[in-house]
Chains A and B, each alone.
Chain A
Amino acid sequence: MTGQRLESGGTIRRDRPIAFRFDGATFTGFEGDTLASALLASGVSVMGRSFRYHRPRGLWGAWTEEPAALVDLSVGGRYEPNARATLVPLEPELEATSVNRWPGLRFDLGAFVDVLHPLFPAGFYYKTFMKPGWATWEESVRARAGLGRVNGEAGAPTRTARTAHCDVLVIGGGPAGLAAARAAAGGEARVMLVDDRPAFGGSLPLDAATIDGHNAEAWAAAVAADLATRPMVTLLPRTTAIGYFDHDLVALAERRPDGRERLWRVRARRVVLATGAIERPLVFPDNDRPGIMAASAALGYVWRHGVLPGADIVVVTNNGGAYQAARALAAAGARIKAIVDTRATPGVVDAVAEVIPGSIVTRTQGRLGIHHVEVAPLGGGRARTLACDLVAVSGGWNPSVHLFSQSGGKLRWDEAIAAFVPDRSVQNEQSVGAARGVFDLAACLEDGHVAGLAAAAATGHAARDPGMPRAQEGAPYRIEPFWFVPGTRRRQWIDRLNDVTVADVRLAARENFASVEHLKRYTTLGMGTDQGKTSNVNGLAVLAAATGRAIPDVGTTTFRPPTTPTSFAAFTALRRCALHAPTRRLPAHHAHARLGAVFDEYGGWQRPACYPRAGEDRAAAIRREAAHPRRAVGLFDASSLGKVEVTGPDAARFLDLMIYNAIGNLAPGRVRYALMLNENGKVFDDGVVARLGPERFLLSPSSSHTAGVVAALEEWRQCEYLDMKVRVEDVTAAWGTVAVTGPRAHAVLDKLETDIVPGPHMSVAEGTVLGALGRIARVSYTGEAGFEISVPAGRADALWDHLLALGEDEGIAPFGLEALMILRMEKGYILIGIDTDGNTEPQDLGMTGPLRAKTVDFVGRRSLLRPDSRRTDRLELVGLAVEGAEPIPGGAHVLAPGGRGERSIGHVSSSAFSPSLGRPVALAMVEGGRARQTAGERVAVFSRGTRVMARIVAPAFVDPEGARLRD
């Protein structure tokens, strides 16, 4: 193949040359070129290597159907791996590198695989890498596999995704789509027209016909220009519809002029699918050489880009469509050496070259290009050899039914055009034109026009008929199916990227991979970047022949979105880095920052892990902070702890049903520790419930679990207890809460400006703090006397600084979440999700009273009455008095003492070194834990090859009687 630029023709700007680089060499193209057309015009014939055998690949297609011309692309500050050369608009500074070859494209050492191809049959991976196991092979196979390279850098900023609604969405801007949009837009309907090319018109630039007396391309431009002036119309060029989902939601990928992709989600009331058709290859021996191209692609390069892809052309076809391409190629200056037609009587009268009927190509020659083809009659007979540098192929046309199929519509095999067409429709869409097998231009215009009027009318908008666009009827499309050449030993290629041959498909069929979905996975047929657009139907036909079935009985594989490869960046849009998930900060965040706090994320919140002092590392800071509240007084920001108000005349009755512990008998002003279960009896969350008044409760769920608790309360309230007068409100963000805890906490509180007189441990009171609304609860998560002071969130910062100043004489010091985790562990206070799992029930935590005492059917009650809940070997919470100085890693196994073998009887759930005790402490969930604790069992704890001895003790290492709390 030796392409050359023509003197005239095409929509390129010959006055605007663009220099670019490909594999290190500099080339020149023009504005309006694609990378593929510019390379073709420069005489480059090999643009890629196939995936499996590293065979040289030229251009088959000119647009989305191209399976193999992949490049890694750097342009305009962007990097894009595996871009298809046919879709890349030529831009200044563009640098492209071919993929899957080493050291170079023309000489690729990887191609040795091709010589050994008999060793790599269909299903090669499944046959070869099963023993001893895939894991053994994976690393070396992965290193060799793959096409383009990612450069390891974050991509350029992407664009935000858009959501749109319209009355009529027309997908495809060819003759049928333009006619549909023009008809639908005549009235008041909101119309969107999308097309994946930069300009509307579809195949019209390749058509010599006239529409309403105008040149076809000029008609398309005039219609698009008129639509652009209408306020009710949105035109989206360079936009591919990549998926059709439920209730007429269509996803679009728009390629902005700056090269970035933007995702659209469009909800349409009616959809017109004018997605056109894609030319099918013919399968014959050696049909994969560079220089073997779709006839329509060859025509496209001439008419769109002014590039003649070959000088001496052999056309091979099974239908009448290729004759028009032959005529156009001849008119552009090519010598048409012959038209090889598989049909015995083509019935074409005005061919531009010798027609060789009833024949097919039986061999091609040329390594990096083509120089000869051998042509022989189908029934056998003398072969002829023709010299050529391009073979233009047409195997007929496949309507692009991908979106229709994704919408749930069923396909039908149409014998007349030997292709699948839309049959039964499920959603509010209609296929028109070539997308439903109507190929004649005049018929396409009529089809689109009628559908456009009907779609607008169906949305209730009066349409104004602009009059049907008219063109002369062309010659009828005639095709005789031809699927492959029987009885040859030469390889006939079906999938040009993944290197699947007729022999591969037949082998798969012999090995009983007769289902089309199995065939696809076994041979990788259709799994290349064109997603089967060129290979699917040919593969089905070969499988049908091999299994003695008709093509419609074989069926098709599922057409999955996206219909064309779409970058992850488009789907991610702006949802990455800081925008991926909201950052939640404490209301006193800046006060912590001023103290030099180290922040970490805990359950979605940025919270201080610790407050290191000068010269202190993180571990030393945590040790100091965890010891301090036991000696003096500590200050902790508890604002992220959930605050959920439950109010109303039925609030107490409702909470008695929602919560494991009794709530109804809680006196106003009192606080109770409580568990919340799910209906399976499993512990869902824990926290304290404060009764602020007869009909007012305040729940404090775990920081990271508040949304889940509110959701559960709401579901029960709205779906089960509809008659109750109760209201649930998450007020977490409205309040800032600072905890003062330690033996000298009282002394600090005594100085606080407040009208609240704090009550005993587990009480709450409201009033004013620092002259504004406030609340003080006497609760503790450290095991020391504790006060939680809550003020409106905007005052938290001031309260924090104020308490630090007030407590200076008492030696007050802030502590972070890491120290709190040690303090609560020393006291045996659990953390939901760490010390419990999805199977933990209240009795496993030593809490059995409420089940015995309560009579209402609270959530989870019936589940706790099952025999399983009474088992004595359930995992139960215990403490581990660890021997030695090192803490045990969390997750370590507790081993059963003595006996044969060593069975795990549980695991360490929380573990730390206690600075106040000077030794490690741990909590564990152990089978029949409480009985073992009573017996004082000594067990081995195993982790990563080492074992440590520990004694099972009560889960409270500090002040088990709770005297310090009541201080």
Chain B
Amino acid sequence: MLLIACPFCGPRDETEFRCGGESHIARPGPAETVSDERWGDYLFNRANPKGVHLERWLHGHGCGQWFNVARDTVSHRVLAVYRMGDPPPKDLTP
């Protein structure tokens, strides 16, 4: 079970959180200009890397805030935690 440092509350057990999957996915639009393929890619295709993964988490049983986590999918180490809207930190090494 991961120990995640919520940027608002501090370190808490994974059971307090919900993982919302890959972060930094741009929503394409306006709708009329987006091809079916592009829309399908936005809806369903995810990176699923072995290594550094940027994902968004919700501290649902806590402050109720969404934020970003950079996590190594091999070691499950949390490499960085940063707010929604912020760019990912540079130099993320697993």
Q: Which residues of A contact B (CB under 8 A)?
A: 163, 245-249, 265, 267, 408, 426, 679-680, 711, 714-715, 718-720, 722, 857, 861-863, 865-867
Contacts and interface: CB of A to CB of B under 8 A. Distances in A.
Contacts of B19: none
Interface string B9-33: 0000110000010000001111110
Contacts of B84: 718-719, 722
A857 B39 CA distance: 13
A50 to B, nearest CB: 37
A247 B39 contact: no
A247 B36 contact: no
Nearest to B67: A718
B2 interface: yes
Contact of B3 (A267, A711, A857): A267
A866 B20 CA distance: 25
A245 B1 contact: yes
A248 B75 CA distance: 12
A867 B56 CA distance: 32
Nearest to B29: A857
B29 A719 contact: no
Contact of B31 (A245, A247, A862): A862
The 5 closest A-B pairs by CB, nearest first: A862-B31, A247-B3, A718-B66, A857-B29, A249-B1
A47 to B, nearest CB: 38
Contacts of A863: 39, 43
Contacts of A862: 28-29, 31, 34, 39
Interface residues of B, number: 26
Nearest to B56: A719
Contact of B75 (A408, A722, A867): A408
20 contacts: A163-B13, A246-B3, A247-B3, A248-B3, A249-B13, A426-B75, A679-B43, A680-B43, A711-B60, A714-B66, A715-B58, A715-B66, A718-B65, A718-B66, A719-B66, A722-B84, A857-B29, A857-B30, A862-B29, A862-B31
Contacts of A715: 20, 58, 66
A400 B34 CA distance: 58
A85 to B, nearest CB: 34
Nearest to B77: A247
B85 interface: yes
A857 B31 contact: yes
Nearest to A248: B3
B62 interface: no
Contact of A861 (B1, B31, B76, B85): B31
A722 B85 contact: yes
Contacts of B30: 857
A863 B42 CA distance: 11
Given A247-B3, A722-B84, 9 more contacts: A246-B2, A249-B1, A265-B1, A267-B3, A679-B43, A714-B64, A715-B20, A718-B84, A866-B36
A847 B61 CA distance: 36
Nearest to B68: A719
B59 to A, nearest CB: 11
Contacts of A426: 75
B65 to A, nearest CB: 7
Given A408-B75, A680-B43, A865 B31 contact: yes
Contacts of B3: 246-249, 267
Contacts of A267: 3, 13
B1 A719 contact: no
Nearest to A860: B31
Nearest to A710: B64
B40 to A, nearest CB: 9
B25 to A, nearest CB: 9
A892 B47 CA distance: 42
A723 to B, nearest CB: 9
A915 B13 CA distance: 54
B13 to A, nearest CB: 8
Nearest to A251: B1
Which residue, B13, B31, B58, B75, has most C-beta atoms of chain A within 10 A? B31
A267 B5 CA distance: 14
Contacts of B56: 719
B75 to A, nearest CB: 6
Contacts of B2: 246-247
Interface string B42-79: 01000000000000101010001110000000011000
